[in-house]
Amino acid sequence: MIQQGQEEPAAIPTVNIDGANVPFTEGETLYEICSRQKKDVPTLCYDPRLDPFGGCRLCVVELEGARNPVASCTTRATAGMKVRTKTEAIENHRRTLLELVVSENRQVEVDELAGYASQELKILVERYDANRGRFQGKQSGQSRDDDDNPFILRDYDQCISCYRCVRVCAEQEGDHAISVMNRGFDTRITTEFNGLLRDSDCTFCGQCVQTCPTGALADKKALKHVDVPGKIEKTRSVCPYCGVGCSVDLLSKGDKLVGVLPAMDGPANEGALCVKGQFAFGFVQHDDRLKTPMVRDEDGKLHATSWDNALDRAAEGLRAVVERHGREALYAIASGRAPHEAAYTMQKMMRAGWGLNHIDNCSRA
């Protein structure tokens, strides 16, 4: 309530969205405000981490006083704007745009394992019933089957030229490994001199894959598991490699680990990963994994055995060392790769068990 004698505070600026006044903060775009209002404005070229681009034009809205609809993603709100997000004319334009996109795209259905955003086109096409076979004509894009890298599928037959991949590589990764070549219907996603990713500045971080809305860029490693039966489950965890601690969503089907997605809301990475975090998960279910305990027998070789036997042998061996050389003859090295619980129990065994501080970890190498 305004108290007497005080100056009236400046009214909080609002825009009118579909009849309702909505407050906004300086610099916000109409698209951001619409998203907050759950307006479900469609888009294909938008990634909240990137600068607004205004390419797909699906997010157009009617703005009172403007001759043409405006792209909501590139239009910053100013006080008093009146916006309509879903008029018949606007919805018709969106449908036509989607039909045009479908007409140049060889396939709308892609497996979810292709990447984080891979279902975006499919979902919009279904929503607008835009797969009616209109606007037939030549198709754009050109799949790069010759790129034999093991991680990133470059099936540009499905590319719709939204340039999210190019922009994420430049703006998020700062790598500028890919760019746009030619123009118009002949635009292609390219590397320097249109070569293989390996011969470019690409670091295979996979960001382009995860932002691609059609699966044109896709995770080859995950796609190997398309035929594994079962529903995809997501489990939030943290990357096992360096100390940055990027949040990931592990993808599994039944007992099978099938892929990794960067967590867009991960505090350390905000959606980013590197080649290891993105693609180097195969070790978990590798055939080389130790599956049973092993003990060295009289023959001098390691043999598989039961947990009971192995643990007995482990404990006996330690006890024997203590008997022979005293407790100071024991030492333990904890892992910088294992969780807290491993390091804690290890040091506790040395300290609470033998009263020893003979414990270290691998940080010195």
211 binds other proteins (CB under 8 A): no
Q: 20 — phi, psi (to 5°)? A: -110, 135
DSSP symbol at 230: S
Q: Residue 209 Cβ, how far from other proteins at the closest point, in Å?
A: 14
Which residues within the stretch 172-201 sit at the binding site for other proteins (CB under 8 A)?
172-187, 190-194, 198, 200-201
Q: Residue 264 Cβ, how far from other proteins at the closest point, in Å?
A: 13
151 binds other proteins (CB under 8 A): yes
279 binds other proteins (CB under 8 A): yes
Query: How large is the angle between the packed helices 120-127 and 88-104, nearest 10 degrees?
Result: 130
How many other β-carbons are positioned within 10 Å of the β-carbon of residue 41? Answer: 23
How is residue 77 written in tokens? 């709100």
Nearest CB to other proteins, comparing residues 126 and 201: 201
231 binds other proteins (CB under 8 A): no
Q: Residue 229 Cβ, how far from other proteins at the closest point, in Å?
A: 15
Q: Residue 7 Cβ, how far from other proteins at the closest point, in Å?
A: 28
Q: Residue 21 Cβ, how far from other proteins at the closest point, in Å?
A: 23
Closest CA to 34 of 12, 63, 56: 63
Which residues within the stretch 85-144 sit at the binding site for other proteins (CB under 8 A)?
89, 92-93, 96-97, 100-101, 103-104, 134-138, 140
Q: How far apart are CA 14 and CA 300, in angstroms?
A: 79
The interface mask with other proteins, positions 4-43, x = CB under 8 A, is ----------------------------------------
Nearest CB to other proteins, comparing residues 49 and 82: 49
Which residues within the stretch 291-330 sit at the binding site for other proteins (CB under 8 A)?
291-296, 302, 307, 310-315, 317-322, 324-325, 328-330
Q: List residues bridging with 257 in a β-sheet.
A: 252
Q: How far apart are CA 263 and CA 270, in angstroms?
A: 7
Strand 82-84 to strand 14-17: parallel, antiparallel, or no bridges (unpaired)?
Answer: parallel
50 binds other proteins (CB under 8 A): no
Q: How far apart are CA 202 and CA 177, in angstroms?
A: 5
How many other β-carbons are positioned within 10 Å of the β-carbon of residue 171? Answer: 14
Q: List residues bridging with 20 in a β-sheet.
A: 17
Counting residues that bind other proteins (by CB under 8 A) gives 165
